[in-house]
Structure formats: structure tokens, C-alpha cells
Amino acid sequence: MPDRPPDRERIVITGIGLTSPNGNCLQDFRASLLAGQSGVVPFTTRYMGEVLAGVCNFDELKYQKRKEVRRGTRAGSISVYCANEAIANSGIDWEQTDRSRVGVYIGTTEHGNVETENEIYEISKFDYDTSVWSHHHNPRTVANNPPGEVTLNMGITGPHLALGAACAAGNAGLIQAVQMLRLNEVDLAIAGGVSESIHTFGIFASFQSQGALARHEDPTKACRPFDLDRSGIVVAEGGGLCTLERLPDAIARNATIYGEIVGYAMNSDASDFVLPNSNRQAECIGLALKRADLAPCDIDIVSSHATATGQGDIEESAALRKAFGDESRPVINNTKSFIGHAMGAAGALELLGNLPAFDDGIAHATINLDRPDPECALSQIVANEPLDLGNVDCILNNSFGMLGINSVVIVKNYV
């Protein structure tokens, strides 16, 4: 048996708050994944007309006043909603919590594009008279806005950080939280990732220029990871934040423990602005396994990053073959096929959607996988229907991003 780290260094997930295109809490999100319910819909964006997107529909006013929503940002509202939901779900006595010992670590793909595009559009109506430029622009567009809005809303006086890690950012937020808890910088962390990406036309236009924007007559079939007929990315918004604590603290308050983060890794491709590198991805997986003191055969489910882009899916498939060989385990699934690519929130949402497998033993499917691409040949993919594994003990979550940033998080069932 591998040696366990000291209990004070064991970090567990004790609360979950999320909003996704097919559910605004873990129970609904999981139910949609098991039922094969997509959240991709037609969406109208400036200058481009109708595109396809994963759109969230949560109650912005549940934890904020209208004035706060208007003054802040969409990413901030998503963060505030998810953070409050995570605290409520955790059962923590928030009124008695020392908020100077709470840290907020939120991964984002980018921040400020939405607000800048909107301000430029508005002053264009006034012959670019900058006197009509909003005085809220600066606090809206600083990189730390999403976690900063959380601290303002919840009275948190501990540290807050936004982690810009492209589409690896959701995992990066969790990794930062684990490290800060182990360093005793905080006693409680709110961590994960958020994205407001659908509200900037620029992201759609850029993917379209790359030939990487998905189109399909049926929006629910547009996102097709590993499929021969995949046509590109479906952009989505969303958020997934967790409360993380040291194991003894969670046990002392008799908290529900969703899982223990036992391994993680981040590295860089150093090879291309956009195209991923399967060798570096495989190395990242291997490093996370090593840190967790696990063998490839110990993993039950791999939550894949695959975005339904041509080369991206091929590279990750190659990385998985390198990391896991011909093992009959783990099985592989993909959450983007249901909700699209939630960018900075992707890693966190995809991990959270899989965590209930510790209780029900089921790996949710990858939908829309009708004609598997031979270059993405992975015999372990769970295609179109959930798979009852009977028992799930370890989940490995892949999350990779532009400029060659890779992240992997491994969560183990706590029993």
C-alpha cells in the first residue's frame, strides 16, 4: 500500500456550486449527463447573427441585487452564484467562519473582452466620444474581477486570485487551492473555474476564422468529440466552484466529502500557439499519477478534454494511449459533448459532473459519437450510453489550453 501524506496535507472537496448549460446544481447537472441531455442551443451574437452555444440560465439575483449585477460582470455573477452555492452545499457555518482565512482561487480563460467590446460598441453610437465610456470599466476588466466580486459579495478578507490558464484554468484553480491549504495560507478555499466567453463575439469570430467553429442543423448534435464528423468547438459559458478543506477540518465538522484530491500536475508544450502536443500531455498525466502514487490501472474514469477539433482530439487520443497503453481500464468520457466548451470553467465542470460516480458507480457517456474517428481510436470510450462500472475509486481529469498549457487533477473516493 502506498504511504499516505499526513492528514493535514490531505485536501478534500466538501461543497459544490455550479451553473452549466444543462443544470444549475450538481444533482440536475448529473441527471442531464446520465440522461444524455444536451444544453447546446442557438444563440445570437453581435455581427455574426446566430451561432451555437452552451448558455446558462441561473438566477443572478439569488445572491446579488440588480445594481450589483449591472455594476459587475457576467463572469463575476457566475462566480458569486457558484461560490455561494458551494458554501451552502458544504454545510459550513458561514457566520462563524473566520473569513480572513478563506481564499478564493478562480481559473479563467480570459477576462475583460466582453466589457471592452460592449463599451466600444456603445461609444460607436456617439462618434467615439470617450466621455460616454463607463467609469466601471476598469474594475470590470481587471484580471482578478471574478474572484474579487466573490470577496466583495461574501465579505471574504483572505487572498483572492484569478488564474489565467486558458482552457486548463478550472484545474489550475483547484491546484492553487490545494497548494495554499497545504502551505497553511488559508483554512478554507473556494476554487474552480468560470467562463463568460459566449458574450464576446470575438471568440466566435476567431474560431470561425480558424475553421474551428462547430455548425450543425441540430444544435444538440453540434459538439462531437472523437467523431469523424466533428466540425469544431461549441463555445459555452458556465462555472464550477468547490469548497476545499484539510481532511481533519472536514472530519471535525462531519462534512460530506465528495472526494480527495490526491494528485495533480501542470506543464507546457513549448511547441505551438494553438496545436497541442501529445507527448507533453502524456507527461503531464504521468506526473500527476506519480504524485498520487498511482499506477495507470488504478484510474477508473478519465474525463477527457477533447474539444471536437480535428487535431486536438487526435493529439489527446495519442496522449491517452501513451499514458495508459492498452489497459482495459480506465474508461474515457467527455462532458463537452453535452454542454460545449466552457473554456475556463471546463476543467472544473467536467470533474464535478463525474464526481457522483463515486456514489452511483456510473460513467456518463460521450454523446454524438456516431462514427468514431480511426485516428482517435480508444477502445475504452463510453459512447452514447452511460456505463455501470459497479465501483469507481479514482477519476483523472484532463484539461489543456492554448499556448500549450496542460493540467491534470486526480480525485479519489474518500471512504
3: in domain: no
Structural element, H or E, at residue 247: helix 247-252
**Do 194 and 235 fall into the same domain?**
yes
Examine the fold and report which residue of 252, 282, 317 is the final residue of a domain before the chain moves on: 252
258: in domain: no
**Do 226 and 301 fall into the same domain?**
no
Domains of the chain: total: 2
pTM for the model stands at 0.97
6: in domain: no
**Do 237 and 215 fall into the same domain?**
yes
**Do 221 and 313 fall into the same domain?**
no
Examine the fold and report which residue of 199, 219, 252 is the final residue of a domain before the chain moves on: 252
Q: Which residues pair with 106 in a beta bridge?
A: 162, 192
| Residue 348 Cα distances to 91, 353, 377, angstroms | 21, 9, 26
**Do 227 and 270 fall into the same domain?**
no
Examine the fold and report which residue of 204, 233, 252 is the final residue of a domain before the chain moves on: 252
Run means of pLDDT, 10 residues per run, the chain, 415 residues? 76 98 98 98 97 98 97 97 98 98 97 94 96 95 97 98 97 98 98 97 96 97 98 98 98 98 98 96 98 96 98 97 84 98 98 98 98 94 97 98 97 94
**Do 191 and 267 fall into the same domain?**
no
> Rounded CA gap, 312 and 317, in Å?
9
56: in domain: yes
pLDDT of residue 2: 52
Give the single-character DSSP code of 227.
B
| Residue 13 Cα distances to 16, 185, 189, angstroms | 8, 17, 10
Indicate the burial class of 59 (C-beta count within 10 angstroms; 0-12, 13-18, 19 or more): exposed
**Do 277 and 231 fall into the same domain?**
no
| Alpha-carbon radius of gyration of the chain | 20
**Do 221 and 275 fall into the same domain?**
no
**Do 276 and 407 fall into the same domain?**
yes
**Do 398 and 298 fall into the same domain?**
yes
1: in domain: no
5: in domain: no
pLDDT of residue 1: 44
111: in domain: yes
220: in domain: yes
**Do 372 and 276 fall into the same domain?**
yes
Range of 401's domain? 263-412
We report the CATH number of the domain holding residue 152 as: 3.40.47.10
**Do 46 and 113 fall into the same domain?**
yes
